[in-house]
Amino acid sequence: MTGYRVLTVTLFRSLTREPVGLFFSFIFAPVLVLILGGIFGNDPRPEFDGQGYIEANLPAFTSLVLAIIGVMVLPVNQLTLRESGALRRLRLTPMRPATFVAADLTVNFLVGFAGMIAALTVGWLAFGVTPSGNVVMVMLAAALGLVAFLALGYTLAGLYPSAGAATGIGNVLMILLMLTSGAFVPLSAMPDGVRTATDFSPIRQFVELVEGLWEGDAWSSLLLPTGVLVAMIIVFGALGSRLLRWERT
């Protein structure tokens, strides 16, 4: 347990020394809510079925944290540690591999979860967007989605050949996920074929779950997006554990 605590603190300090990663994990989503809310306001609009821009899209903004951490921050950090030899040196110590994984997941989860809460809080306080549903249920759904994308991140870290490749490919994946989240372009404005395609995006399934709970729907009516996220945890969790490498090959 001592090793876990020490490593968790060390990894968190390492993350704070990387301002770009910390910015996109924690600060980007709430700042974006403020900026876009200031530009578009929150007055009712017909394209959002009578809702304001922030009111209609606030849950989708939390999904940006998942996309950034899952396909960019976690894999890049993991590959940077591997390429620098830090993981190999840790492997040679008495520390169990599970301890490192637990500490790494803890840091990324706490930072990402704080970023999601910050985005929702900014929408709540700055633009008066209040949930109709149970806030605890919304937080549980946010945690479920974050765990699913952390599992995806570990799988990608095993598949990406290098930190440079992780940055390039991750940027493309992140843009695709952001576009299909509905945070920037209203899905109602998209062609039918594009809207159908977005249903296959895991980030869209997460948004459907959080939006439904935010608006007061029962969790039992949101079994499809829940199942997708649970399946991601199982599949990518298993793949990530098998693909985990401690040194460059």
Work out the average pLDDT over 107-116: 94
Tens digit of pLDDT for each residue in 171-182? 899 888 888 887
CB neighbour list of residue 108: distance below 8 Å, 6 or more residues apart: 25, 69, 73, 74, 150, 153
Closest CA to 153 of 209, 223, 193, 101: 101
Residue 1 has pLDDT above 70, yes or no: no
Residue 51 has pLDDT above 90, yes or no: no
Residue that the structure tokens 């499809």 belong to: 224
Q: 135-159 and 163-181 helices cross at what angle (nearest 10)?
A: 150
Higher pLDDT among residues 174 and 183, named by residue: 174
Work out the average pLDDT over 75-86: 86
Q: Rounded to an integer, what is the distance from CA 4 to the centroid of its chain? A: 23
% the chain with pLDDT above 90: 38
Q: Which of 119-123, 172-176, 202-206, 230-234 has the highest mean pLDDT?
A: 230-234
How far is Cα 105 from Cα 158, in angstroms, rounded to an integer?
Answer: 15
Ramachandran angles phi, psi of 59, nearest 5°? -60, -30
Work out the average pLDDT over 66-93: 86
Give pLDDT, residue 92.
Answer: 74
- Which band of pLDDT confidence, cut at 50, 70 and 90, is reported for residue 10? confident
Residue 218 has pLDDT above 70, yes or no: yes
Tens digit of pLDDT for each residue in 54-76? 888 888 888 989 889 999 989 99
How far is Cα 137 from Cα 78, in angstroms, rounded to an integer?
Answer: 31
CB neighbour list of residue 101: distance below 8 Å, 6 or more residues apart: 154, 241, 244
Asked if 4 and 102 touch (Cβ cutoff 8 Å), the reply is yes
Give pLDDT, residue 190.
Answer: 66
Give pLDDT, residue 189.
Answer: 61
SS3 state of residue 158? helix
How far is Cα 77 from Cα 166, in angstroms, rounded to an integer?
Answer: 10
Asked if 50 and 149 touch (Cβ cutoff 8 Å), the reply is no
How far is Cα 156 from Cα 179, in angstroms, rounded to an integer?
Answer: 20
- Which band of pLDDT confidence, cut at 50, 70 and 90, is reported for residue 23? confident
Higher pLDDT among residues 91 and 240, named by residue: 240
Written as six digits, the tokens of 78 are 């993991």
Give pLDDT, residue 115.
Answer: 93
